């Protein structure tokens, strides 16, 4: 047992973990406050439903009172049979969001109306019809099952850009180029406000990701066993996990926290068969996840966006609004 404690201490010190019962208990309490994956996905759906966005790709709609299918592919191409093509940069309202195992769907009402004719025997009715589209983005295998809200939202980056409200979407996209004094100033204010809002959203998303990794790392560090076979696998897992975390902020924010179990070629031959093999494999998985988690926790804070300067408001524009 004493040898096992020395091995455990040596491994933990190599990872930069202080061996303290009090700190472990405090970390365990902190882990209970971190939101689960399901709650994070539900919160993501709440954020997007009712939000205003600006499209980043072309969209197609029949403008016939239903949502026209738009399949988004990895190269930003769109597959649709809708008869009307709507240019990128169009504001739209998100009516609902649907998350499934293989796709992510946004039902949009676009800020475009189409004059529709309905011929009858003795007359023809003409009316403006709303243009609606259901945008579907393919989800990589396992991403939805992992309930990775940050990874799911990242799939929408090349499809739409979310805004804080309708005014921001209309002005920042220059959808309504009104030729009035002060309009361009108001538009630039809206762009600056949107930039600040996006940075706040990004910071909140990164903080949620950091909390998720911290909670996982805390759980792992609190359940480390002193079984010799477990520690042997744990050490191998630490070695395997150290060099697997990407260094760029864009990649590290999407790094998947749910990891695969140890494979047959991962060094499992270091343990015997049966119960000892299971203990070794569990130690290997814990060591791999813990090493990756600590590296993520070290890198993520440096990816937080710097606070944006508050936009300077033009008093004449403010008085014009009133």
Which whole number is the average pLDDT over 198-204?
83
Mean pLDDT of the chain: 77
Enter the tokens of residue 228.
């010799």
Which whole number is the average pLDDT over 126-152?
79
Last residue within a domain, chosen from 159, 176, 193: 176
Does 72 share its domain with 119? yes
Does 169 share its domain with 133? yes
Does 319 share its domain with 213? yes
Does 165 share its domain with 187? no
Last residue within a domain, chosen from 176, 201, 229: 176
Last residue within a domain, chosen from 158, 176, 194: 176
State the pLDDT at residue 204: 82
State the pLDDT at residue 308: 57
Which phi and psi (to 5°) does residue 115 adopt? -75, 115
Q: What is the pLDDT of residues 263-274, one digit of tens each?
A: 554 555 444 557
Q: What is the pLDDT of residues 19-58, one digit of tens each?
A: 333 334 334 434 444 445 678 788 889 999 999 999 999 9
Does 196 share its domain with 161? no
Dist CA 68 CA 83 (whole Å): 9
Dist CA 191 CA 205 (whole Å): 21
Does 154 share its domain with 190? no
Long-range contacts of 204-211 (CB under 8 A, 24+ apart): 205/150, 205/153, 205/253, 206/253, 206/300, 206/303, 206/304, 207/304, 208/35, 208/40, 208/149, 208/150, 209/150, 209/253, 209/300, 210/296, 210/297, 210/300, 210/301, 211/34, 211/35
Domain that holds residue 100: 38-176
> Does this model's pTM top 0.85?
no
Does 285 share its domain with 218? yes
b or e along 5-16 (b: 16 or more beta carbons within 10 Å of the residue's beta carbon)? eebbeebbeebe
Does 280 share its domain with 209? yes
Does 7 share its domain with 72? no
Q: Domain count for the chain, please give it.
A: 2
What is the CB neighbour count within 10 angstroms for residue 280?
27
Does 278 share its domain with 184? yes
Which whole number is the average pLDDT over 307-313?
57
Which whole number is the average pLDDT over 142-149?
67
Judge whether residue 92 has pLDDT over 90.
yes
CB proximity list for 120: less than 8 A, separation 6 or greater: none
Confidence of residue 317 (pLDDT cuts 50, 70, 90): very low
How far from 2 is each of 6, 8, 101, 226, CA to CA, in Å?
Answer: 6, 10, 48, 9
How do beta strands 160-163 and 78-79 pair?
unpaired
Does 47 share its domain with 184? no
How do beta strands 68-72 and 124-138 pair?
parallel
Does 181 share its domain with 303? yes
State the pLDDT at residue 142: 67
């Amino acid at each position: 047992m004493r040898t096992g404690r020395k091995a455990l201490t040596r491994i933990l010190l190599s990872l930069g973990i202080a061996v303290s019962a009090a700190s472990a208990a405090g970390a365990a309490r902190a882990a209970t406050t971190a939101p689960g994956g399901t709650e994070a996905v539900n919160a993501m759906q709440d954020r997007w439903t009712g939000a205003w966005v600006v499209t980043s790709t072309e969209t197609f709609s029949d403008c016939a009172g239903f949502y026209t299918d738009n399949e988004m592919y990895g190269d930003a191409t769109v597959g649709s049979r809708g008869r009307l093509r709507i240019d990128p940069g169009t504001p739209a309202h998100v009516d609902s969001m649907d998350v499934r195992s293989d796709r992510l769907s946004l039902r949009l009402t676009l800020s475009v109306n189409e004059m529709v004719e309905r011929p009858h025997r003795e007359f023809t009715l003409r009316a403006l019809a709303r243009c609606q589209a259901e945008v579907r983005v393919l989800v990589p295998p396992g991403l939805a099952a992992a309930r990775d809200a940050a990874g799911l939202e990242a799939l929408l980056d090349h499809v739409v850009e979310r805004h804080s409200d309708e005014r921001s979407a209309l002005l920042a996209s220059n959808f309504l180029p009104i030729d009035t004094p002060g309009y361009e100033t108001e538009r630039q204010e809206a762009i600056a406000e949107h930039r600040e809002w996006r940075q706040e959203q990004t910071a909140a998303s990164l903080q949620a990701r950091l909390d998720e990794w911290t909670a996982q790392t805390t759980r792992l560090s609190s359940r480390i066993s002193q079984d010799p076979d477990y520690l042997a696998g744990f050490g191998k897992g630490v070695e395997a996990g150290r060099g697997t975390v990407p260094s760029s902020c864009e990649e590290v924010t999407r790094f998947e926290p749910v990891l695969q179990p140890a494979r047959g070629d991962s060094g499992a031959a270091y343990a015997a068969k049966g119960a000892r093999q299971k203990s070794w494999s569990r130690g290997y998985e814990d060591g791999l996840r813990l090493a990756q988690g600590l590296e993520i926790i070290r890198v993520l804070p440096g990816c937080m966006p710097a606070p944006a300067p508050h936009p300077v408001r033009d008093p004449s524009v403010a008085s014009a609004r009133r």
